[in-house]
Amino acid sequence: MLYLLAIFCAPLALLLIGKWVQAILNFVLYVAALVLVITIVFSHFGFIVWIVGVVHAVLAINSHRADQRAKAIIAATRGKGP
């Protein structure tokens, strides 16, 4: 679900996982992409900037989920120790 949200509104997806600094930086990319798409001359660059923002959001979400898995594994191993 978050990955789908990252495609359409990357800054919101980053806010939902609690990475607000990355969300602000991604919002700047999002606005730059919109400005470039509105100008007809640089519309291809706007699409490229949008793709960079989406890739950044997807990688941040993936990293967040990996951190959660690692914390769960650490908690499980500490709970079963002597």
Q: What is the pLDDT of residue 44?
A: 84
Total number of domains in the chain: 1
**Class of residue 11 by CB neighbours under 10 A (exposed 0-12, middle 13-18, buried 19+):** buried
Query: Residue 23 sits in which domain range?
Result: 2-79
| CB atoms inside a 10 Å sphere around CB 49 | 21
Q: Which two tokens stand for residue 27?
A: 């919002």
- pLDDT per residue, tens digit, the chain (82 aa), is 889 999 999 999 999 999 999 999 999 999 999 898 888 777 788 889 999 999 999 999 999 999 999 999 998 988 765 5
- Beta strand residue intervals within 18-63, DSSP E: none
